[in-house]
Amino acid sequence: MCILHVTGKNNLQGIAGIKEWKYRTKNQSERPRKGPTPTRKSERLARRMVLMTSVLLTQRKKIGVGEQFQAEIPDWTGPPSDAELSWYRNDPNTSKMLGSRTWPPEGYVVQTNIVVAGQGRPESCNCPYPGNFYCRLHHINTARDRLRSEIGQVFKEWKFDLMGEQVSEMWSIEEQLKFAALEQLVPVFENKSFWAVAAKHFASKTRVDLVQYYLNVFLMRRVSNQCRLSLLEIDSDEDEAEEEEDEDQSDGSNSSQRPQDVQEEEFLTKATPDKNLIRLLICMGEAMRTIAFKVRTASCGGTACVNSFGDEQLAVDMLADKLLFEALEYSHVCKYACSEEVPELQDMGGPVEGGFSVAFDPLDGSSIVDTNFTVGTIFGVWPGDKLTGVTGGDQVAAAMGIYGPRTTFVVALKDCPGTHEFLLLDEGKWQHVKDTTTIGEGKMFSPGNLRATFDNPDYDKLVNYYVKEKYTLRYTGGMVPDVNQIIVKEKGIFTNVTSPTAKAKLRLLFEVAPLGFLIEKAGGHSSDGKQSVLDKVISQLDERTQVAYGSKNEIIRFEETLYGSSRLAASATVGATA
């Protein structure tokens, strides 16, 4: 590493005061000096700085000072007369300099009404999200709605509706991802016209559409991200500068990197060599990021919670369904997909060889969105073009998105040990925060479909055991949070048992198999009473089953109580005998 010193009469006062640049390596003695010492990550960058400074010193323009160099500005004699204004307006060379009055309109009385809100203001904020990102978003939207009601149709005439993050709602997830990729391919320093290239790739968008999205959405997201980074973490547009390495990390490793410093794409790249699978999971992550926002900002009435999807107002579960289908189609690696809302195979246009088929529940727990309970998305990924005649064990990946106080993305891959949790940051990135490889013992239970205890005495006996042994009851009625807590807490059991009058409701393809994959990759076990749910053959898309997830001993107790014996207990006995 090289440390750069600046010496001279006006040390660090400006370029004009720089007299000499000297290099000193770590091994050389350090002389006492005044002022701070600038540093650079490599000697190469230091040389580049010297060269740029010399160019600035030799090529800067000289500015003359004195009477002969100053502009002559006439004295102010008051506003122009009507005759002068008329002449200005009628003369083609001067009329363009007058411009046209847009705001405020003639006769409009400007009234300033400052609404005090937000953390750090004179008055505390009483909004639902005081002091954080959503606080600002809430007040921006409130101010927009107030302005819209005050000025009416003028709001659209002046295109106020085409400003801010709302512009993103006019772009699909596919288009937003494509725009970001295109921007990376056409960097500013290559002297290429980005807008000309973008116009070719977005034939349905006008130049105004492209510029509006770039300025209102894309650029703002990038700036908000960079504002949260240190100077050395900000990506440079210059590829050569990005490749500079600190001598302290000359071996290419970063031994101090913590698991939570790893982003989703970096983790997936290390977890699997399958680039198509990586692309599919990233696209689904983008969709879940949008769903999280739509759920959080949904308007809930007496019958449903709705939000906008372009020009439409949709129930949030149907909106989530559309977003996920859109993401899978854009991935170009999904052959077939189906959902709990659309339980029929939909051709996504991807290949059979090297492609995947995906089944998903777009918004599990949609009936409790209005109560502000945690809800989520569940999906499983199978290789090829089959979603029937396969088992849960054939999955190459499964995941769930959890939309609660935090938004998390829990994923498991066939070739990667453990189940992995990612946290959605304010800037929109998924940050790796937890690995789970063991589900231990602990007294926590989530008994679903409790009405089945009325005419299923074995299930009633099991629930009474939990109560008698003073298990902690943690049950929300949402399958995603109730199963996710087993992975997060690394203990407990979830049950959903049937009876003659309380039939099975959970779908094997859309919910049970993907969650079973997540639990078993985390070190837990699953059961339908007799076998692992990952061993059940999916015979039809809408097939339903009972299920239990939890630690080994809890699943043994579940199977023995309901059916008199357990395959897990038998295998443990055989292992001990051997």
Task: Give the tens place of pLDDT for each residue, 385-444.
Answer: 999 999 999 999 999 999 999 999 999 999 899 999 999 988 788 999 999 999 999 999
* Higher-pLDDT residue of 221, 468: 468
Asked whether residue 448 is domain-assigned, the answer is: yes
Residue 462 near residue 448 (C-beta atoms within 8 A):
no
Residue 556 near residue 493 (C-beta atoms within 8 A):
no
Whether residues 458 and 563 fall in one domain: yes
Q: 42-68 burial by CB neighbour count: b if 16+ within 10 A, else e?
A: eeeebeeeeeeeeeeeeeeeeeeeeee
What pLDDT score was predicted for residue 196? 82
| Dihedral (Cα; 363, 366, 369, 375), 10-degree rounding | -40
Whether residues 570 and 519 fall in one domain: yes
Whether residues 275 and 407 fall in one domain: yes
Neighbours of 202 (CB within 10 A): 18
How deeply is 474 buried, as exposed, middle or buried, from its count of CB atoms within 10 A (0-12, 13-18, 19+)? middle
Q: CA neighbours within 13 Å on the CB side: how many for 13?
A: 10
Q: How do strand 419-424 and strand 407-413 relate by DSSP bridges? A: antiparallel
pLDDT interval class at 246 (50, 70, 90): very low
Whether residues 429 and 488 fall in one domain: no
Bridge partners, 421 (sequence order): 410, 434
SS (HEC) of 134-166: HHHHHHHHHHHHHHHHHHCCHHHHCCHHHCCHH
Asked whether residue 96 is domain-assigned, the answer is: no
Asked whether residue 275 is domain-assigned, the answer is: yes
Work out the mean pLDDT of the chain and round it to a whole number: 79
Asked whether residue 379 is domain-assigned, the answer is: yes
* Radius of gyration from C-alpha coordinates of the chain: 31
SS3 call for 391: strand
Tell me which of 377, 407, 436 is where a domain ends. 436
CATH of the domain at 524: 3.40.190.80
CATH of the domain at 383: 3.30.540.10
What pLDDT score was predicted for residue 3? 40
Which two tokens mark 152?
């009416």
Distance of CA 79 to the CA centre of its chain: 55
End-to-end CA distance of the chain: 60
Asked whether residue 154 is domain-assigned, the answer is: no
Tell me which of 43, 58, 73 is where a domain ends. 58
**CA–CA separation, 311 vs 332, rounded Å?**
26
pLDDT interval class at 164 (50, 70, 90): confident
What pLDDT score was predicted for residue 516? 98
- Sheet hosting strand 305-309, strand order edge to edge: 299-300, 305-309, 312-315
Asked whether residue 545 is domain-assigned, the answer is: yes
Whether residue 457 has pLDDT greater than 90: yes
Residue 277 near residue 379 (C-beta atoms within 8 A):
no
Q: CA neighbours within 13 Å on the CB side: how many for 223?
A: 7
Whether residues 272 and 421 fall in one domain: yes
Whether residues 287 and 432 fall in one domain: yes
Which two tokens mark 516?
């079973």
> Is the pTM of the predicted complex or chain greater than 0.85?
no
Whether residues 475 and 408 fall in one domain: no
Asked whether residue 485 is domain-assigned, the answer is: yes
* Higher-pLDDT residue of 297, 67: 297
Mean pLDDT of 196-225: 83
What pLDDT score was predicted for residue 512? 98
Whether residues 422 and 354 fall in one domain: yes
Alpha helix (H) residue ranges in 91-227: 92-98, 133-151, 154-157, 173-185, 194-201, 207-213, 219-226
Residue 558 near residue 550 (C-beta atoms within 8 A):
yes
What pLDDT score was predicted for residue 245? 38
**CA–CA separation, 233 vs 264, rounded Å?**
17
Whether residues 421 and 451 fall in one domain: no
Tell me which of 388, 410, 436 is where a domain ends. 436
Q: How does pLDDT run across 470-529, given as a tens digit for each residue? A: 999 999 999 999 999 999 999 999 999 999 999 999 999 999 999 999 999 999 999 999
What pLDDT score was predicted for residue 453? 95
Best CA proximity match to 501, nearest among 459, 547, 551, 533: 459
Residue 320 near residue 302 (C-beta atoms within 8 A):
no
Range of the domain at 531: 444-577
Whether residues 423 and 469 fall in one domain: no
**CA–CA separation, 319 vs 313, rounded Å?**
9
SS3 call for 229: coil
Best CA proximity match to 399, nearest among 385, 384, 420: 420
Phi-psi domain of 380 (left: phi exceeds 0; alpha: psi -120 through 50; beta: other): beta
Bridge partners, 5 (sequence order): 22
Whether residue 84 has pLDDT greater than 50: yes
Asked whether residue 423 is domain-assigned, the answer is: yes
Whether residues 284 and 432 fall in one domain: yes
Whole-angstrom CA distances from 56 to 11, 238, 300, 451 are 17, 20, 61, 80
Question: How many domains would you assign to the chain?
Answer: 3
Whether residues 425 and 458 fall in one domain: no
Q: How does pLDDT run across 48-71, given as a tens digit for each residue? A: 655 555 555 555 556 666 666 677
Distance of CA 482 to the CA centre of its chain: 23
Mean pLDDT of 138-151: 76
